[in-house]
Copies of this chain bind each other. A is one copy, B any other.
Amino acid sequence: MVSSDMEEVLDGVRVILVTVPASAHRDLARAMAPYLQAGQIIILNPGRTLGAVEFQHVLRENGAPPGLTVAETETFIFASRRVEPGVSRINRVKRKVHLAALPAYRTASVLRQVRHVLPQFVAAANVLETGLSNIGAIFHPAPTLLNAGWIESASQFDYYHQGITRGVARALERVDEERLAIAESYRVRAVPARRWLAAVYGTRADDLYTAIQRTRAYGGLKSPASLEHRYVFEDVPMSLVPLADLARAAGRSAPVMESLITIACALTGVDWVKKGRTLSSVGLGGMGVEEIIDFVKVGLRKVPHPQTRTTSSWNGETVASDAEAFMGPDAP
């Protein structure tokens, strides 16, 4: 079935794969909310950073029924390119793609329900781990911004092999260090970009520059034709903005990420922070590290008005009395 009728598409299906740029998640969640049915599973493929949290928050704000499960993957399952509108070429199906549900205790259940069609999906600790494994946050915005004049001069160049020079790679390493430090704050695993290249493409080198230059798969991948490209409009607001905000909530600074965001705003004249995912815009405003970790694990958040305090328990464990369960009874 090919359809743009949301009600028709969603009716009676068990698992919904959402494969759009993360900048469209908010609008899509709003459009889906009225037609979702209890027990359905939504998988953002991928979520970028804080995707599942934002999606769930927008569903809730728009009256979606309880009993839904939102999950996200750390990267897209296909290595592919659009050939022309409506036609894509899939070069490769990735062998292993991490997935986490929100809350994390539902991850196993989601995997069980999709493994017959998507056996590539394996469990991540929680959506902080998938969000902090967002390698696009490293490889997409910085090289685009640090080649802004080249891109806007309408010259086409090899994005990775020509655009990522020694200096640009040095900047990427700094962004990557900031991402790894944030992951440490939230106690999740994140693989350094250089090790990721070794794992995915088998390219080994002592520094990121050499590793990228040796990655044959990157040969011939062309630069964006303008700054109006998802490397900016998706990866700045949906990757760098939430990463920098997670850093801030953990009392860490992420100066290179913050600078790239500011420069992206200056170059495009768009306020990407306002358009982007912040803890506050995804409903986690004011939370500290421990509260955020609790939230992604068990899906509980502090109740905004103390007079509505409830107590709840999960798996025999009593959970902070100042919290509420969001998604209702566990999905079947």
Residues of A within 8 A of B (CB): 143, 145-150, 152-153, 157, 162-168, 170-171, 174-175, 227, 255-256, 258-260, 262-263, 266-269
Q: Is the interface of A mostly helix, strand, loop or mixed?
A: helix
* Residues in B neighbouring A168, C-beta threshold 8 A: 148-149, 152, 267
Are B149 and A163 touching (Cβ within 8 A)? yes
Partner pick for A146 among B149, B255, B269, CB 8 A cutoff = B149
* Residues in B neighbouring A145, C-beta threshold 8 A: 146
Q: Which residue of B lies closest to A228 (CB)?
A: B167
Are A148 and B165 touching (Cβ within 8 A)? yes
Are B170 and A269 touching (Cβ within 8 A)? yes
Are B170 and A266 touching (Cβ within 8 A)? yes
Are B165 and A149 touching (Cβ within 8 A)? yes
A167 to chain B, nearest CB (A): 4
Q: Which residue of B lies closest to A167 (CB)?
A: B267
Q: Could you give 10 example pairs across A and B, Cβ below 8 Å?
A: A146-B146, A147-B148, A148-B171, A149-B168, A168-B267, A170-B266, A258-B262, A259-B259, A259-B260, A260-B263
Distance A164 CA – B150 CA, assembled complex (angstroms) = 9
Are B170 and A149 touching (Cβ within 8 A)? no
* Residues in B neighbouring A163, C-beta threshold 8 A: 149, 153
Q: A167 with B262: in contact, given A146-B148, A149-B146, A153-B157 (CB under 8 Å)?
A: no
Are B162 and A148 touching (Cβ within 8 A)? no
* Residues in B neighbouring A268, C-beta threshold 8 A: 167, 170
* Residues in B neighbouring A143, C-beta threshold 8 A: 149
* Residues in B neighbouring A171, C-beta threshold 8 A: 148, 263, 266-267
Q: Which residue of B lies closest to A268 (CB)?
A: B167
* Residues in B neighbouring A166, C-beta threshold 8 A: 152
